[in-house]
């Protein structure tokens, strides 16, 4: 599987260091609050698991699944809730944990939903940001790495549901896409 990777962009250690840093910032900024931390499935599941361990607050966690790219590498622009939250966001400080922001369509839709459900505040933590792909005006409050417009896999990120278990993040070899 590692043979399918053209280039490692971020090593396991680099990611861990960044996640720790983000967790410390969030801990400081949310002092005195008990945020509801929402993982956007599936891509953010590993980031979520590592991040919450670095946040020293009485937080709660919940999970939401929205339509993804499927086996393609481009956003359809259509966002659909596949699995909804169990915990009410009403009156809560919500921290949305996302793997990567590309067009921004997924998160702007989610924020809209959460605000209509009367969340007290919505904050975004994204491990990766691809600003060149943006189609709506949206930015992460906490971001790990800004990356060029390449399709990346590993550390939760997939191509056709594979490669999520790579401990690092990398770019696939072009021939993998044509299989």
Under the rule (CB under 6 A), what is the footprint of ligand XMP?
A: 43, 68-69, 75, 98-106, 151-153, 157-158
Note whether 104 binds Mg ion by CB under 5 A.
Answer: no
Closer residue to Mg ion (CB): 43 or 154: 43
> What are the start-end ranges of the E strands in 32-134?
36-41, 60-66, 81-83, 93-101, 121-129
Binding at 101: pick from Mg ion, ligand XMP, none (beta carbon under 5-8 Å per type):
ligand XMP
Task: Single out the residue of 23, 35, 43, 156 in contact with Mg ion (rule: CB under 5 A).
Answer: 43
* Element containing residue 175 per DSSP (H, E): helix 174-177
* Residue 102 falls in the annotated catalytic set: yes
Catalytic residue, chosen from 99, 102, 129, 158, is 102
Q: What are the strands of the beta sheet with 142-146, ordered from one edge?
A: 81-83, 60-66, 36-41, 93-101, 121-129, 142-146
User: Please, what is the minimum distance in Å from the beta carbon of residue 51 to ligand XMP?
Assistant: 15
Q: In this structure, what are the phi and psi dihedrals at residue 31, rounded to the nearest 5 degrees?
A: -50, 135
The region that residue 30 occupies, defined by phi over 0 for left and psi between -120 and 50 for alpha, beta otherwise, is alpha
75's contact among Mg ion, ligand XMP, none, with CB below 5 to 8 A by partner kind, is ligand XMP
Which residues belong to the active site?
102
């Amino acid at each position: 599987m590692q043979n399918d990777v053209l280039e490692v962009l971020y090593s396991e250690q680099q990611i861990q260091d960044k996640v720790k840093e983000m967790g410390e910032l969030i801990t400081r900024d949310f002092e005195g609050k008990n945020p509801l931390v929402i993982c956007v499935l599936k891509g953010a599941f590993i980031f979520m698991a590592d991040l919450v361990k670095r946040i020293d607050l009485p937080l709660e966690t919940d999970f939401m699944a929205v339509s993804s790219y499927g086996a393609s590498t481009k956003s359809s622009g259509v966002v659909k809730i596949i699995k909804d939250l169990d915990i009410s966001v009403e009156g809560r400080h919500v921290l949305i944990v996302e793997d990567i922001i590309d067009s921004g369509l997924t998160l702007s839709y989610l924020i809209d939903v959460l605000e209509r459900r009367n969340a007290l505040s919505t904050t975004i933590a994204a491990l990766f940001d691809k600003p060149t792909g943006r189609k709506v005006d949206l930015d992460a409050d906490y971001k790990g790495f800004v990356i060029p417009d390449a399709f990346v896999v590993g550390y939760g990120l997939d191509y056709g549901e594979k490669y999520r278990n790579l401990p690092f993040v990398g770019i696939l070899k072009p021939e993998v896409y044509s299989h």
